[in-house]
Chains A and B, each alone.
Chain A
Amino acid sequence: MGSSGSHATVIPDGDSIRRETGFSQASLLRLYHRFRALDRNKKGYLSRMDLQQIGALAVNPLGDRIIDSFFPDGSQRVDFSGFVRVLAHFRPVDEEEAGIRDPKQPEPLNSRMNKLRFAFQLYDLDRDGKISRHEMLQVLRLMVGVQVTEEQLESIADRTVQEADEDGDGAVSFLEFTKSLEKMNIEQKMSIRILK
């Protein structure tokens, strides 16, 4: 990849980003190139439109929500560090890293909890920390084909919430969410190999 030594200076705040996200220098560089490639007008940040121009996202049922997850708190622009921070959730979990982690440090972004938290926020649009039945229904509607009737969807949503809901408040909190997925290999499901 050429001389990578001088590139650290090209990426703004490269070192702090690297520490926070745990990406290797090479990966960070690639992500930076990708960021620049997406940022068509060289604004220095990405807007929603830039992300919407990734055609493949348009045919992803969750495309809009995925784009929204890059813009937390209603902001309209995401700079490189925000971009990388989101992608850091999908870094494969390094087994040794997990073992020698200093418990006082904040969890790395690609820990199981943080991955789950990221997935959770795709459901929980109003950020109240709970997936209501209504939100579950919305997600179902996005993900299911048109052959399924509204009543079927509603009953599925009911059932989904009912299965996970333990304290009976009619919504799935984050803890209940993690509990329902405890058997699943989240580390593998939500890791992208190339983001080493």
Chain B
Amino acid sequence: MSMGFWPFDSFGSWMLLLLLVALACSKASSDLNKSTNSTTQHGPNAWFAAASSEPDERISVFELDYDYVQIPYEVTLWILLASLAKIGFHLYRRLPGLMPESCLLILVGALVGGIIFGTDHKSPPVMDSSIYFLYLLPPMVLESGYFMPTRPFFENMGSILWWAGPGALINAFGIGLSLYLICQIKAFGLSDVNLLHNLLFGSLISSVDPVAVLAVFEEARVNEQLYMMIFGETLLNDGISVVLYNILIAFTKMHKFEDIEPVDILAGCARFIVVGCGGVFFGIIFGFISAFITRFTQNISAIEPLIVFMFSYLSYLVAETLYLSGILAITACAVTMKKYVEENVSQTSYTTIKYFMKMLSSVSETLIFIFMGVSTIGKNHEWNWAFICFTLVFCQIWRAISVFALFYVSNKFRTFPFSIKDQCIIFYSGVRGAGSFSLAFLLPLSLFPRKKLFVTATLVVIYFTVFIQGITIGPLVRYLDVRKTNKKESINEELHTRLMDHLKAGIEDVCGQWSHYQVRDKFKKFDHRYLRKILIRTNVPKSSIVSLYKKLEMKQAIEMAETGILSSTAFSVPHQAQRIQGVKRLSPEDVESMRDILTHNMYQVRKRTLSYNKYNLKPQTSEKQAKEILIRRQNTLRESLRKGHSLPWGKPTGTKNIRYLSFPYSNQPLKARRDTRAAEFTDDDSCHPGFPPVTFSVQSRTRSLQERRQVQEAIPMKSFHRGREALNFDDQRTGQKEHGGRDKRGILKPKPLFHTVDEEYASGEQSEEEASAIGPRWTAEQKQKHSRDHHQSHSPLLQRKDF
């Protein structure tokens, strides 16, 4: 484990060095540019001085103009420093599980702040009100809106709204009022902080960022609802705090405190609602518009990410123009647009959008945290023990009150109430983040003479919650999760535990998703009948299984065949005689190593919730694993077919039972095709009860063909009895029968080879010869009669690859 630290140290130290040199240069050159004729000698910078000592007479060979690039240069350096720190952070594998990444960012910020303070450098004015609200905030909000899993969100929407809305209000007003009472106590010297100021402070301090800690207890497999509550809270919390903040600032500007009448307060409440709902409304409209536009972009897929981002940003700006809540607008836009846009855009655009969004939001957040660090180590502080301590105390108290009170009420209406354990986790995850700091920093000094106090208090709360709560929440969750305390499990237990986890996950999948049926069904029907027809390009399925299969089919199959893995996992049972089991005495080290092998190599249980990491797009080990599982099943299927194996329970299969049907490329409407297939299945079922057919068919987005043609090829394949290792995917996109709780399914094609070649190897990585070489190999293995037909019918496809 110590190995992990070492690269981090070296990174850190190199970066420090670099930064110091940069700052030294900047300091030197800023002094330099001020004095035209001075020949100040700054040690290593002597030769700079020499070069520009006569600026007006000679053309200098070498010049330095730091002021010109100062702002972007320093910003870039900061971002780079934060990125390097993140690299180091993740190199040490256990660290991300110990503390949230915001800890790291804060430390980096403090470091930069320290350097800037130490070198007496004037930091660039990155953070002022307009820059924050126009440039830094939208990406962060967009990212959290976009990555939100929609289905659980809408299922729990009632609880989420009930928790986020009143929760934020209770926190804000509770903290504000209690602090006001504290301020009234003369002894603390805070009597000039009036009620409005306190309320404002309450509203900005109640803005939480619990998503930052999600990564920490990800492995504890928190249940889905809890996850959604935390996520949903983050989503709506920013919006609500900012709305409240703006309203209260308006109040502050308006009158003196005594003039505020009940009418104003009512108007404030009404404004709150209007602002919130108006923002959401605009967001939804822009979401639909952008989804509609992406329907037409298949010929110019490079601008798809641009459309997504521009429309989201536009929704934010339009809402802000009308004094509505831009944050809620952009959130609603992202949520609405995501479902349709994902289906319309190409795979690469989709990936680009995801990564770019993460990148933008992490840049924003890094900048804010660095600015926070700069503020921390500076002279702009006002320390008041009473205010700060009571702030901390009240934050915790009011969060506890709001959690337990609100959940008590909502539990009465929920089918699956939240346990006390869950509520404790929600309470403890109230970690503050960049949002509250920004709002505090941007308080106008003219209206808030005690601004420094607020900033200091906010900083303290942030540091406290992020470090102390962030680091201890992991152990807390694990403790509450009633994990097995006995870490040393026998191999038996490990194996059986994992089997049961898989079993449970499988049965959960069989049960499907249960929720408020009627509402969801109605929405889905409406969605299908109208929305999808308008907004989606063609009815192309894009479930992860399709994209998965596309990727795995070609590349992985080649790789695995080459490395001989295929043969080793093949169905080699009949070749093995039953070994006479000798009782071997194994040493404890052997057992240890066995256990390690088992633990590290067993397949992970499929997580039902999308694991969300705010700072990272993990390359989805579950996807790799799923690929592997699918390939292996495919291979055992193929192997058994080829060898005509008898299955372990001894019934023979006949390869002659393989029957293939292939439909030519056609534009048959989906419905007719499905009906014929359905009929075919029932026929097969009735006449060959032991041999259910297996269908491989996929519609792929064939951009290389004429646009919008639905290409489908169905190759039902007779498999052996009991459906062993049968892969069967069918298109679920029927307008009539839509069943709640069904996952989106993809249609798989045994020959996506050619299409995958088109889409994935368009850059020319894979040569066409290789692709066509795979083709016959595949078909030969299946022993198709129509193999040649397929091959020939596919080659025109291949030649028509025009990208």
Is B499's CB under 8 angstroms from A143's CB?
yes
Given contacts A33-B517, A144-B602, contact A60 B581 (CB under 8 A): no
Query: Cβ of A101 < 8 Å from any Cβ of B?
Result: no
Query: Cβ of A74 < 8 Å from any Cβ of B?
Result: yes
In the complex formed, the residue of B with least CB distance to A74 is B722
Given contacts A145-B602, A184-B496, A192-B507, contact A56 B743 (CB under 8 A): yes
In the complex formed, the residue of B with least CB distance to A59 is B626
A189 to B508, CA, bound (A): 12
A162 to B491, CA, bound (A): 10
Given contacts A52-B726, A158-B584, A164-B492, contact A60 B505 (CB under 8 A): yes
Query: Cβ of A11 < 8 Å from any Cβ of B?
Result: no
- Chain A residues with CB below 8 A from B632, complex form: 146
* Nearest Cβ on chain A to B508's Cβ, whole angstroms: 6
Is A55's CB under 8 angstroms from B543's CB?
yes
Query: Cβ of A7 < 8 Å from any Cβ of B?
Result: no
- Chain A residues with CB below 8 A from B584, complex form: 158, 162
In the complex formed, the residue of A with least CB distance to B690 is A76
* Nearest Cβ on chain B to A180's Cβ, whole angstroms: 4
Among the stretches B337-345, B374-382, B681-689, B783-791, the one at the interface with A is B681-689
Is A34's CB under 8 angstroms from B741's CB?
yes
Mark each residue of chain A from 136 to 149: 1 if its CB lies under 8 Å from any CB of chain B, else 0: 00111101111111
**Residue with the highest number of chain A CB atoms closer than 10 Å, among B496, B504, B739, B740:** B496
Is B602's CB under 8 angstroms from A57's CB?
no
A170 to B678, CA, bound (A): 47
* Nearest Cβ on chain A to B462's Cβ, whole angstroms: 35
A191 to B507, CA, bound (A): 10
Is A47's CB under 8 angstroms from B499's CB?
no
Is A47's CB under 8 angstroms from B692's CB?
yes
Q: Which of B588-646 contact A (CB under 8 A)?
A: 591, 594, 597-598, 601-603, 606, 625-626, 628-630, 632-633
Is A190's CB under 8 angstroms from B603's CB?
no
* Nearest Cβ on chain A to B215's Cβ, whole angstroms: 24
- Chain A residues with CB below 8 A from B496, complex form: 119, 177, 180-181, 184
In the complex formed, the residue of A with least CB distance to B728 is A52
Is A163's CB under 8 angstroms from B729's CB?
no
Given contacts A41-B682, A48-B723, A53-B728, contact A156 B606 (CB under 8 A): no
Q: Could you say which of A43, A57, A185 contacts B509, with CB atoms under 8 Å apart?
A: A57
- Chain B residues with CB below 8 A from A162, complex form: 583-584
Q: Could you say which of A86, A147, A160 contacts B492, with CB atoms under 8 Å apart?
A: A160
Is A143's CB under 8 angstroms from B511's CB?
no
Is B504's CB under 8 angstroms from A145's CB?
no
A58 to B630, CA, bound (A): 7
Is A48's CB under 8 angstroms from B726's CB?
yes
Among the stretches A14-22, A62-70, A105-113, the one at the interface with B is A62-70
- Chain A residues with CB below 8 A from B745, complex form: 53, 55
Is B598's CB under 8 angstroms from A156's CB?
yes
- Chain B residues with CB below 8 A from A156, complex form: 491, 594, 597-598
Q: Could you say which of B500, B510, B633, B737 contacts A54, with CB atoms under 8 Å apart?
A: B510
Q: Which of B727-741 contact A (CB under 8 A)?
A: 727-730, 737, 739-741
- Chain A residues with CB below 8 A from B499, complex form: 62, 119, 122-123, 139, 143
Q: Which of A114-156 contact B (CB under 8 A)?
A: 119, 122-123, 125-126, 132-134, 138-141, 143-150, 152, 154-156
Is A125's CB under 8 angstroms from B503's CB?
no
Is A195's CB under 8 angstroms from B511's CB?
yes
Among the stretches B22-30, B469-477, B565-573, the one at the interface with A is B565-573
Is A146's CB under 8 angstroms from B503's CB?
no
In the complex formed, the residue of B with least CB distance to A190 is B500
Is A180's CB under 8 angstroms from B510's CB?
no
Query: Cβ of B530 < 8 Å from any Cβ of A?
Result: no
A159 to B595, CA, bound (A): 10
A30 to B516, CA, bound (A): 11
A154 to B591, CA, bound (A): 13
Is A192's CB under 8 angstroms from B597's CB?
no
A25 to B38, CA, bound (A): 91
Is A158's CB under 8 angstroms from B581's CB?
yes
- Chain B residues with CB below 8 A from A47, complex form: 685, 692
A144 to B648, CA, bound (A): 20
In the complex formed, the residue of B with least CB distance to A42 is B737
Query: Cβ of B579 < 8 Å from any Cβ of A?
Result: yes
* Nearest Cβ on chain A to B686's Cβ, whole angstroms: 10
Query: Cβ of A183 < 8 Å from any Cβ of B?
Result: yes
**Residue with the highest number of chain B CB atoms closer than 10 Å, among A90, A140, A144, A193:** A144
Is A184's CB under 8 angstroms from B497's CB?
yes
* Nearest Cβ on chain B to A83's Cβ, whole angstroms: 9
Q: Could you say which of A86, A145, A155, A191 contacts B628, with CB atoms under 8 Å apart?
A: A145
Q: How many residues of A contact B (CB 8 A)?
A: 85
Is B509's CB under 8 angstroms from A60's CB?
yes
Query: Cβ of A100 < 8 Å from any Cβ of B?
Result: no
Is A192's CB under 8 angstroms from B508's CB?
yes
* Nearest Cβ on chain B to A10's Cβ, whole angstroms: 15
Is A143's CB under 8 angstroms from B486's CB?
no
Is A159's CB under 8 angstroms from B491's CB?
yes
Q: Which of B448-505 contact A (CB under 8 A)?
A: 484, 486, 490-493, 495-505
A52 to B66, CA, bound (A): 66
Query: Cβ of B223 < 8 Å from any Cβ of A?
Result: yes
Query: Cβ of B506 < 8 Å from any Cβ of A?
Result: yes
A53 to B690, CA, bound (A): 18
- Chain A residues with CB below 8 A from B671, complex form: none
In the complex formed, the residue of B with least CB distance to A168 is B583
Query: Cβ of B109 < 8 Å from any Cβ of A?
Result: no
* Nearest Cβ on chain A to B630's Cβ, whole angstroms: 6
Query: Cβ of A175 < 8 Å from any Cβ of B?
Result: no
Is A58's CB under 8 angstroms from B569's CB?
no
* Nearest Cβ on chain B to A53's Cβ, whole angstroms: 6
- Chain A residues with CB below 8 A from B502, complex form: 60-62, 143
Is B692's CB under 8 angstroms from A51's CB?
no
Is A37's CB under 8 angstroms from B740's CB?
yes
Is B723's CB under 8 angstroms from A143's CB?
no
- Chain B residues with CB below 8 A from A59, complex form: 545, 606, 625-626, 629-630
In the complex formed, the residue of B with least CB distance to A54 is B509
In the complex formed, the residue of A with least CB distance to B603 is A61
Is A90's CB under 8 angstroms from B504's CB?
yes
Q: Which of B655-682 contact A (CB under 8 A)?
A: 678, 681-682
Is B729's CB under 8 angstroms from A68's CB?
no
* Nearest Cβ on chain A to B572's Cβ, whole angstroms: 8
Q: Could you say which of A53, A56, A160, A189 contacts B730, with CB atoms under 8 Å apart?
A: A53
A190 to B730, CA, bound (A): 30
A36 to B502, CA, bound (A): 25
Is B492's CB under 8 angstroms from A181's CB?
yes
- Chain A residues with CB below 8 A from B232, complex form: none
- Chain A residues with CB below 8 A from B484, complex form: 184-185
- Chain A residues with CB below 8 A from B722, complex form: 48, 68, 71, 74
- Chain B residues with CB below 8 A from A185, complex form: 484
Is A145's CB under 8 angstroms from B601's CB?
yes
- Chain B residues with CB below 8 A from A149, complex form: 568
Query: Cβ of B518 < 8 Å from any Cβ of A?
Result: yes
The 7 closest A-B pairs by CB, nearest first: A37-B739, A59-B626, A48-B723, A56-B509, A66-B506, A52-B728, A170-B581
Known: A37-B512, A64-B724, A184-B496. 10 other contacts (CB 8 A): A30-B514, A54-B743, A57-B506, A64-B723, A64-B725, A133-B578, A138-B573, A140-B495, A146-B628, A177-B496
A/B interface sample: 7 pairs, CB < 8 A: A2-B518, A31-B511, A41-B682, A61-B502, A61-B629, A143-B495, A146-B628
